[in-house]
Structure 1
Amino acid sequence: MEEFNVKNFLFSSSATVYSTSKYLPLDEKHPCIGDAITNPYDTIIAQPEWNIILLRYFNPVGAHKTGLIGENPIGKPNNLMSYIAQVAVGRLPYVSIFGTDYDTPDGTSVRDYIHVVHVAIGHIAAMKQFEMNCGLKIYNLGTGKECSRRAGNLATVYADPTLAAQELGWTAQRNLDEMCERRKS
């Protein structure tokens, strides 16, 4: 990296780094799993000329109208939206929705879904921060809206995307119904 003078890093992460919810919505300061073990602040202190941006996605779903980005899982889908899509096109026979044991109104987990196009737009907005020598920045990419499981899920996880809106000028534009639609534009 030194040879090519690479000083800017954009890391795609996910909300799965967060530990059990201490408060909601989850903001960028929420405790992470293994926070005491690894911390990117050490890298910034050791290399102050570096800029590192961590984008934490909350359940990306959907596809671009061209089909070039989006969900086409190989093997077993990893989330409910992928499963539904696979059943809709006949690749899987049915959708099973599990559980009523979460501490939520209906007993199922609560999620924040974001469209893949908005994740891509969030990347572009984040890269502009490199021009300002941002140091280390962490942004949640989510809608900030709860949607009501899958085994091993935390009961409730949804983003506080305020920092991304304030510093990147970025907000997700589609609600869950719109994410499920096949868009022509």
Structure 2
Amino acid sequence: MAILVTGGLGYIGSHTVVELLNNNYEVVIVDDLSNSEKFILKNIEEITGKKPVFYPFDLKRKELLAQVFDAHPIDGCINFAASKAVGESQLKPVDYYENNLFSLINILQEFKQRGISNFIFSSSCTVYGQADQMPIDENTPLKMPESVYGKTKQMGEEILTDFAKAYHRKVSLLRYFNPIGAHPSAKIGELPIGIPNNLVPYVMQTAAGVREKLSIWGDDYPTEDGTAVRDYIYVVDLAKAHVAALKKLMEDESNVATIDIFNLGTGKGSSVLEVVKAFETANDVKVPYQICDRREGDITIAFANVDKAKEELQWKSDTSLEEALKTVWEWQKYLKNRNT
């Protein structure tokens, strides 16, 4: 049995591959390297002592995807393959719909034809839009997302729900809040291409002198310090949740549709300025910043109620913000040494 991990050399994907290998799963990675780099594969092997199978191609190429299923006894999939930048999605909506939805549909066609179940979808708290109440639990009504990226995640969930019901398959929709940090080995972490869209890589690059100043998008939100509030979850904790969700699906021997939905976060919100200050304190560095206008597609506040994941997956994120931010700085040092 093997687990297909699409986008498995990306940020969350690579950490999840490590956890799968550490739990003795065989892993087959498909990644087109559009948002990752090949050296991550070697580093995964160094961390785990195991080498996953790797195919470098775009999932929209159906004939290549079929060959992977022909070659391996795939028993489940964790799908990370997607374009993910909120701002970019507003500028390139058609590209985002094509990439994020066509790739998903192609995998599901293989699952349908081959009778495979156990599908885990990398979703997002963006499906809730700006929720009316905090914290956000799994019963919080979904709203139209603020960004095209969020819309593709919401559409992906709808596609998978219909798939599970029609073909009696098992699906888990994992709604992440804001992943941060790097592996304790400092061998894998977030690798933004160009100017980072996410806060913590931008903070990291600014502290390292790669960027002159951090841009904080708005200080006039109705929050304690005027900056947007998010739930920042350590990426290794998040990766472990995928293994727990997979085990739950695979242990379910019923022949009925299963649609698990889990919020994955810490249950605590932190503002942009709080994250900046925590990074400075954790790593004894300064992060110069400037306040800019709000960014289209951003919401004011989002943090999770994670009781369901604790109860049904026996999982929780217990890594502090400061601990997670220390791993970010170690990852930056690794990248600097690697590039010199």
- TM-score normalized with structure 2 length: 0.50
User: Are 2:122 and 1:122 aligned?
Assistant: no
Q: Residues 186 and 327 of structure 2 are in contact (CA less than 8 Å); yes or no, is this contact kept in structure 1?
A: no
Cα deviation, 1:109-161, whole Å, max 9, x if unaligned, reads 11100011011101011111111257001111100011015623211100111
Across the aligned residues of Structure 1 and Structure 2, the Cα RMSD in angstroms comes to 2.2
Q: Which runs of 5+ in 1 are unaligned?
A: none
CA shift, 1:45, in A, is: 2.3
Against the structure 1 CA distance between its residues 32 and 69, is the aligned structure 2 distance closer, same or farther, given a 3 Å change threshold? farther
Aligned CA distance change for structure 1 residues 119 and 22 (closer, same or farther; 3 Å): same
Question: Quick check: 1:28 aligned with 2:151?
Answer: no
2:322 is matched with 177
Moved more, 86-95 or 75-84: 86-95
Quickly say closer, same or farther: Cα 1:96–1:13, change in 2 above 3 A: same
Alignment TM-score, normalising by the size of structure 1: 0.88
1:2 positional shift: 4.1
Could you tell me which of 223, 242, 262 is aligned with 1:139?
Answer: 262
The answer on whether the counterparts of 2:267 and 2:304 sit within 8 Å (CA) in structure 1 is yes
- Whether the 8 Å contact between 1:69 and 1:116 is mirrored in structure 2 is no
Return the match for 2:300 from 152, 155, 179.
155
**What SS class does the counterpart of residue 181 from structure 1 fall into?**
helix
In the alignment, which of 40, 47, 65 is matched to residue 167 of structure 2? 47
**Alpha-carbon distance in structure 2 between the residues aligned to 1:137 and 1:12:** 12
Structure with higher Rg: it is: 2
Q: Which amino acid is the alignment partner of residue 12 of structure 1? A: S
| Letter paired with 2:164 | I
Percent identical residues: 43
Q: Show the counterpart of 2:231.
A: 112
Q: In the TM superposition, what whole-angstrom CA distance separates every residue of 1:32-79 from its partner, at most 9, and x where no partner exists?
A: 2449x953443332122x000011111101100233432121111122
For 2:206, which of 69, 87, 91 is the aligned residue?
87
SS at match of 1:182: helix
State whether residues 183 and 327 of structure 2, in contact with CA within 8 Å, keep that contact through their aligned partners in structure 1: no
More helix by proportion, 1 or 2?
2
The equivalent residue for 1:11 is 121
Q: 1:45 to 1:3 in 2, by over 3 A?
A: closer
**Equivalent residues of 2:128, 2:144 under 8 A apart:** no
Query: More deviation in 133-142 or 56-65?
Result: 133-142
Q: Distance in 1 between matches of 2:209 and 2:116?
A: 45
Q: Which amino acid aligns with 2:185?
A: T
Q: Which runs of 5+ in 2 are unaligned?
A: 1-110, 146-153, 273-293, 331-340
Instruction: Report the 3-state secondary structure (helix = DSSP H, G, I; strand = E; otherwise coil) of the residue aligned with 2:271.
Output: coil
SS in 2 for 1:97: strand
